[in-house]
């Protein structure tokens, strides 16, 4: 008889939930994804500081998406727009975030992750692309 709090063997497939950021065509997104091989239950993500987006008007880190997702099948991904990257960096908000995730598998085994992101990499690596994309956005208005 298995104990509910006991962790499954290391070679048993499990859910693995992450929060990640991506920058596509000069637009910054935050992603909640189950990269594991099994469904995750009662998923929550807590940011160490607020993540504001949409021109600084929306507290993205407080969306229901990050407070509680009851069920995430393997491979499920939620993508939330943050801002055009150039605009986000112009606001000079925090660039480093520590995100603590908690979730469980079907049997009730609990998992926790802590992921640290430094968004400066998107400013430094994609600067010319961000400027180019921003110029395109400005010229179409």
Residue 3 has pLDDT above 80, yes or no: no
**Residue 64 placed within a domain:** yes
**Six-digit token string for 1:** 């008889």
Q: What is the pLDDT of residue 9?
A: 62
User: Would residue 48 count as lying in a domain?
Assistant: yes
Per-residue tokens: 55: 């021109």
Give me the phi and psi of 15, to 5 degrees please.
-70, 155
Three-class secondary structure of residue 134 per DSSP: helix
Is residue 35 situated within a structural domain? yes
Task: For residue 122, name the pLDDT band (cuts at 50, 70, 90).
Answer: confident
Give the N- to C-terminal CA distance of the chain in Å, as an integer.
64
CB contact at 8 A, 91 and 56: yes
Mean pLDDT confidence for 119-125? 82
The DSSP code for 34 is: E
Instruction: Tell me the pTM.
Output: 0.81
Is 1 inside a domain boundary? no
Per-residue pLDDT tens digits for 6-63 = 566 667 799 999 999 999 988 999 999 999 999 999 999 999 999 999 999 999 999 9
Residue 101 falls inside a structural domain:
yes
User: What mean pLDDT comes out for the span 80-93?
Assistant: 91
Does 29 fall in a domain? yes
pLDDT score recorded for residue 28:
94
pLDDT averaged over the chain? 85
What pLDDT sits at residue 134?
A: 45
Please say whether the beta carbons of 52 and 58 come within 8 A: yes
In a domain, 8, yes or no: no
The total domain count for the chain is 1
DSSP state letters, 63-123: SHHHH-EEEE-TT-EEEEEEEEHHHHHHTT---EEEEEEEEE-TT--EEEEEEEEETHHHH
Q: What is the domain extent for residue 44?
A: 17-140
Domain assignment present for residue 123? The answer is: yes
Contacts of 43 (CB under 8 A, 6+ apart): 17, 32, 34, 68, 69, 70, 72, 101, 102, 103
Residue 124 belongs to a domain with what CATH number? 2.60.40
């Amino acid at each position: 008889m298995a104990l509910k709090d006991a962790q499954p063997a290391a070679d048993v497939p499990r859910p693995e939930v992450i929060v990640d950021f991506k920058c596509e065509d000069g637009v910054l997104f935050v992603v909640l994804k189950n990269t594991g091989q099994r469904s995750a239950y009662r998923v929550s993500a807590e940011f160490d500081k607020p993540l504001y987006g949409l021109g600084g008007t929306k507290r993205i880190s407080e969306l229901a998406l990050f407070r509680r997702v009851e069920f995430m099948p393997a491979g499920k991904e939620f993508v939330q727009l943050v801002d055009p990257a150039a605009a986000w960096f112009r606001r000079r908000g925090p660039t480093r975030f520590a995100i603590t995730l908690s979730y469980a598998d079907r049997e009730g085994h609990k998992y926790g992750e802590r992921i640290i992101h430094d968004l400066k990499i998107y400013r430094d690596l994609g600067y010319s692309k961000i400027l180019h994309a921003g110029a395109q956005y400005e010229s179409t208005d």
